Amino acid sequence: MIMGGICTRACAFCNVATGMPNALDRDEPASVGRAVAKMGLSHVVITSVDRDDLPDGGAQHFVETIRAIRASAPGTTIEILTPDFLRKPGALETVVAARPDVFNHNLETVPSNYLTVRPGARYFHSIRLLQRVKELDPTIFTKSGIMVGLGEERNEVLQLMDDLRTADVDFLTIGQYLQPTRKHHAVIRYVTPEEFKSFETVGYTKGFLVVASSPLTRSSHHAGEDFEKLKAARLARPSVAA
Protein backbone atom coordinates (compact mmCIF):
# COMPACT_ATOMS: atom_id res chain seq x y z
CA MET A 1 0.00 0.00 0.00
CA ILE A 2 1.43 3.31 -1.09
CA MET A 3 0.80 6.96 -0.11
CA GLY A 4 0.67 6.37 3.63
CA GLY A 5 -1.72 4.76 6.08
CA ILE A 6 -4.24 7.57 6.56
CA CYS A 7 -7.27 7.74 4.26
CA THR A 8 -9.30 10.84 3.45
CA ARG A 9 -12.54 8.82 3.49
CA ALA A 10 -14.33 6.79 6.14
CA CYS A 11 -15.98 3.76 4.55
CA ALA A 12 -18.07 1.72 6.97
CA PHE A 13 -16.34 -1.57 6.12
CA CYS A 14 -12.70 -0.43 6.29
CA ASN A 15 -10.39 -0.30 9.31
CA VAL A 16 -7.78 2.04 7.79
CA ALA A 17 -7.31 5.25 9.79
CA THR A 18 -9.19 8.33 8.56
CA GLY A 19 -7.91 11.88 8.67
CA MET A 20 -5.56 14.32 6.97
CA PRO A 21 -2.74 12.30 5.41
CA ASN A 22 0.92 13.20 5.61
CA ALA A 23 2.82 14.59 2.64
CA LEU A 24 3.79 12.06 -0.01
CA ASP A 25 7.11 10.29 0.35
CA ARG A 26 8.80 11.14 -2.94
CA ASP A 27 11.28 8.30 -2.44
CA GLU A 28 8.53 5.71 -2.00
CA PRO A 29 8.21 4.62 -5.67
CA ALA A 30 11.94 3.87 -5.89
CA SER A 31 11.79 2.04 -2.55
CA VAL A 32 8.91 -0.10 -3.78
CA GLY A 33 10.80 -0.90 -6.97
CA ARG A 34 13.86 -2.01 -5.03
CA ALA A 35 11.75 -4.11 -2.64
CA VAL A 36 9.96 -5.89 -5.48
CA ALA A 37 13.30 -6.71 -7.12
CA LYS A 38 14.87 -7.85 -3.85
CA MET A 39 11.98 -10.20 -3.09
CA GLY A 40 12.00 -11.56 -6.63
CA LEU A 41 8.26 -11.15 -7.07
CA SER A 42 6.75 -12.36 -10.34
CA HIS A 43 3.49 -10.45 -9.78
CA VAL A 44 2.81 -7.51 -7.49
CA VAL A 45 -0.35 -5.68 -6.41
CA ILE A 46 -0.03 -1.97 -5.64
CA THR A 47 -2.87 -0.28 -3.78
CA SER A 48 -3.34 2.89 -1.77
CA VAL A 49 -5.51 4.82 0.59
CA ASP A 50 -7.83 7.46 -0.90
CA ARG A 51 -5.95 10.74 -1.31
CA ASP A 52 -8.68 13.26 -2.06
CA ASP A 53 -6.35 15.93 -0.65
CA LEU A 54 -4.08 15.70 -3.71
CA PRO A 55 -4.90 17.53 -6.96
CA ASP A 56 -4.64 14.28 -8.94
CA GLY A 57 -5.78 11.92 -6.20
CA GLY A 58 -2.33 10.33 -6.17
CA ALA A 59 -2.39 9.31 -9.85
CA GLN A 60 1.14 10.44 -10.59
CA HIS A 61 2.44 8.56 -7.55
CA PHE A 62 0.92 5.37 -8.98
CA VAL A 63 2.63 6.11 -12.29
CA GLU A 64 6.00 6.67 -10.66
CA THR A 65 5.63 3.44 -8.68
CA ILE A 66 4.80 1.47 -11.83
CA ARG A 67 7.80 2.95 -13.61
CA ALA A 68 10.11 2.21 -10.69
CA ILE A 69 9.01 -1.44 -10.58
CA ARG A 70 9.48 -1.78 -14.32
CA ALA A 71 12.98 -0.32 -14.04
CA SER A 72 14.04 -2.47 -11.08
CA ALA A 73 12.15 -5.68 -11.92
CA PRO A 74 11.26 -5.68 -15.62
CA GLY A 75 9.94 -9.26 -15.50
CA THR A 76 7.38 -8.50 -12.80
CA THR A 77 3.76 -8.07 -13.85
CA ILE A 78 1.89 -5.24 -12.13
CA GLU A 79 -1.66 -5.07 -10.84
CA ILE A 80 -2.93 -1.82 -9.37
CA LEU A 81 -5.92 -1.47 -7.05
CA THR A 82 -6.85 2.19 -7.21
CA PRO A 83 -9.21 4.68 -5.61
CA ASP A 84 -11.81 6.28 -7.86
CA PHE A 85 -9.85 9.54 -8.34
CA LEU A 86 -13.21 11.27 -7.92
CA ARG A 87 -13.44 14.63 -9.68
CA LYS A 88 -9.73 14.67 -10.53
CA PRO A 89 -9.48 15.59 -14.24
CA GLY A 90 -6.92 13.55 -16.15
CA ALA A 91 -6.00 11.32 -13.21
CA LEU A 92 -7.28 8.08 -14.70
CA GLU A 93 -5.76 8.81 -18.11
CA THR A 94 -2.38 9.39 -16.46
CA VAL A 95 -2.44 6.02 -14.73
CA VAL A 96 -3.68 4.06 -17.74
CA ALA A 97 -0.90 5.56 -19.86
CA ALA A 98 1.62 3.83 -17.54
CA ARG A 99 0.11 0.53 -18.75
CA PRO A 100 -0.27 -1.65 -15.66
CA ASP A 101 -1.05 -5.25 -16.54
CA VAL A 102 -4.23 -5.30 -14.43
CA PHE A 103 -6.33 -2.30 -13.41
CA ASN A 104 -8.46 -3.13 -10.37
CA HIS A 105 -11.04 -0.83 -8.84
CA ASN A 106 -13.48 -2.36 -6.39
CA LEU A 107 -17.18 -1.53 -6.32
CA GLU A 108 -17.24 -3.09 -2.81
CA THR A 109 -21.05 -3.45 -2.65
CA VAL A 110 -24.31 -2.98 -4.54
CA PRO A 111 -25.53 0.58 -5.21
CA SER A 112 -28.34 0.51 -2.65
CA ASN A 113 -25.71 0.17 0.10
CA TYR A 114 -23.48 3.04 -0.98
CA LEU A 115 -24.86 5.72 1.38
CA THR A 116 -24.17 3.55 4.42
CA VAL A 117 -21.20 1.44 3.29
CA ARG A 118 -19.24 3.60 0.84
CA PRO A 119 -20.62 7.13 1.32
CA GLY A 120 -17.65 8.96 -0.22
CA ALA A 121 -18.01 7.19 -3.57
CA ARG A 122 -20.54 6.99 -6.39
CA TYR A 123 -21.45 3.61 -7.88
CA PHE A 124 -21.85 4.66 -11.49
CA HIS A 125 -18.71 6.80 -11.35
CA SER A 126 -16.82 3.61 -10.46
CA ILE A 127 -18.50 1.71 -13.30
CA ARG A 128 -17.61 4.49 -15.72
CA LEU A 129 -14.01 4.53 -14.47
CA LEU A 130 -13.61 0.83 -15.29
CA GLN A 131 -15.27 1.29 -18.66
CA ARG A 132 -12.96 4.22 -19.45
CA VAL A 133 -9.87 2.09 -18.80
CA LYS A 134 -10.94 -0.27 -21.58
CA GLU A 135 -11.70 2.64 -23.90
CA LEU A 136 -8.22 4.05 -23.35
CA ASP A 137 -6.36 0.73 -23.60
CA PRO A 138 -8.30 -2.45 -24.40
CA THR A 139 -5.22 -4.59 -23.72
CA ILE A 140 -5.25 -3.85 -19.98
CA PHE A 141 -7.14 -6.42 -17.92
CA THR A 142 -9.80 -4.83 -15.71
CA LYS A 143 -10.97 -6.21 -12.41
CA SER A 144 -13.45 -5.36 -9.66
CA GLY A 145 -14.66 -6.94 -6.46
CA ILE A 146 -17.50 -6.86 -3.96
CA MET A 147 -18.23 -8.09 -0.46
CA VAL A 148 -21.49 -9.89 0.28
CA GLY A 149 -23.28 -10.20 3.59
CA LEU A 150 -23.96 -6.46 3.81
CA GLY A 151 -27.72 -6.74 3.27
CA GLU A 152 -27.72 -6.97 -0.51
CA GLU A 153 -30.29 -9.02 -2.42
CA ARG A 154 -29.29 -11.67 -4.95
CA ASN A 155 -30.88 -9.80 -7.84
CA GLU A 156 -28.77 -6.75 -6.93
CA VAL A 157 -25.58 -8.79 -7.22
CA LEU A 158 -26.70 -10.12 -10.61
CA GLN A 159 -27.46 -6.58 -11.80
CA LEU A 160 -24.03 -5.46 -10.59
CA MET A 161 -22.50 -8.24 -12.69
CA ASP A 162 -24.38 -6.93 -15.73
CA ASP A 163 -23.17 -3.40 -15.05
CA LEU A 164 -19.56 -4.60 -14.88
CA ARG A 165 -19.91 -6.61 -18.08
CA THR A 166 -21.39 -3.55 -19.80
CA ALA A 167 -18.12 -1.86 -18.83
CA ASP A 168 -16.23 -4.86 -20.30
CA VAL A 169 -14.67 -5.82 -16.96
CA ASP A 170 -12.68 -9.05 -17.22
CA PHE A 171 -12.37 -10.33 -13.66
CA LEU A 172 -14.80 -10.34 -10.73
CA THR A 173 -14.08 -11.24 -7.11
CA ILE A 174 -16.80 -11.91 -4.52
CA GLY A 175 -16.03 -12.55 -0.86
CA GLN A 176 -17.74 -12.59 2.52
CA TYR A 177 -17.73 -9.30 4.42
CA LEU A 178 -16.22 -9.61 7.89
CA GLN A 179 -16.70 -6.82 10.42
CA PRO A 180 -13.29 -5.38 11.48
CA THR A 181 -14.50 -3.88 14.79
CA ARG A 182 -17.77 -3.24 16.60
CA LYS A 183 -17.89 0.32 15.25
CA HIS A 184 -17.95 -0.87 11.65
CA HIS A 185 -20.92 -2.00 9.57
CA ALA A 186 -22.45 -5.18 10.97
CA VAL A 187 -22.46 -8.48 9.10
CA ILE A 188 -26.08 -8.87 8.04
CA ARG A 189 -25.65 -12.52 7.16
CA TYR A 190 -23.09 -15.16 6.24
CA VAL A 191 -23.51 -16.25 2.64
CA THR A 192 -23.36 -20.01 2.09
CA PRO A 193 -20.65 -21.71 0.02
CA GLU A 194 -23.39 -22.90 -2.33
CA GLU A 195 -24.46 -19.31 -3.01
CA PHE A 196 -20.86 -18.31 -3.70
CA LYS A 197 -20.57 -21.17 -6.18
CA SER A 198 -23.78 -20.06 -7.83
CA PHE A 199 -22.42 -16.51 -8.22
CA GLU A 200 -19.30 -17.96 -9.83
CA THR A 201 -21.33 -20.00 -12.29
CA VAL A 202 -23.54 -17.05 -13.22
CA GLY A 203 -20.50 -14.80 -13.56
CA TYR A 204 -18.95 -17.07 -16.13
CA THR A 205 -22.20 -17.28 -18.09
CA LYS A 206 -22.28 -13.47 -18.20
CA GLY A 207 -18.87 -13.39 -19.84
CA PHE A 208 -16.24 -12.66 -17.19
CA LEU A 209 -12.88 -14.19 -18.06
CA VAL A 210 -12.25 -15.12 -14.42
CA VAL A 211 -14.58 -15.22 -11.41
CA ALA A 212 -13.27 -15.83 -7.89
CA SER A 213 -16.19 -16.35 -5.52
CA SER A 214 -15.91 -17.92 -2.09
CA PRO A 215 -16.26 -16.91 1.59
CA LEU A 216 -12.52 -16.27 1.89
CA THR A 217 -11.98 -14.64 -1.52
CA ARG A 218 -10.24 -11.28 -1.22
CA SER A 219 -9.45 -8.80 -3.95
CA SER A 220 -5.74 -9.54 -4.18
CA HIS A 221 -5.66 -13.12 -2.89
CA HIS A 222 -3.87 -15.44 -5.34
CA ALA A 223 -3.50 -12.45 -7.68
CA GLY A 224 -0.47 -13.92 -9.46
CA GLU A 225 -2.17 -17.24 -10.14
CA ASP A 226 -5.32 -15.46 -11.28
CA PHE A 227 -3.31 -13.29 -13.67
CA GLU A 228 -2.14 -16.46 -15.41
CA LYS A 229 -5.78 -17.58 -15.63
CA LEU A 230 -6.71 -14.23 -17.16
CA LYS A 231 -4.07 -14.54 -19.86
CA ALA A 232 -5.09 -18.12 -20.65
CA ALA A 233 -8.80 -17.19 -20.78
CA ARG A 234 -8.09 -14.29 -23.15
CA LEU A 235 -6.08 -16.52 -25.48
CA ALA A 236 -8.95 -19.01 -25.50
CA ARG A 237 -11.36 -16.26 -26.55
CA PRO A 238 -10.07 -14.81 -29.84
CA SER A 239 -12.70 -12.08 -29.98
CA VAL A 240 -11.26 -10.46 -26.83
CA ALA A 241 -8.59 -7.82 -27.50
CA ALA A 242 -5.11 -9.33 -27.31
Which residue ranges form the domains of the chain, and what is each CATH number?
Answer: 6-235 (3.20.20.70)
Q: Give me the helix-helix angle, 154-166 and 193-205, nearest 10°.
A: 30
Average pLDDT taken over every residue of the chain: 95
214 is in an annotated binding site: no
Rounded percentage of the chain residues whose pLDDT exceeds 90: 92
Strands (E), the chain: 6-7, 17-18, 43-47, 77-81, 102-104, 141-148, 171-176, 210-213
Is residue 7 a known part of a binding site? yes
Quote the percentage of the chain above a pLDDT of 70: 98
User: Is 14 known to sit in a ligand binding site?
Assistant: yes
The residue-averaged pLDDT of 227-232 equals 95
42 labelled binding-site residue: no
Report the pLDDT averaged over residues 114-134: 95
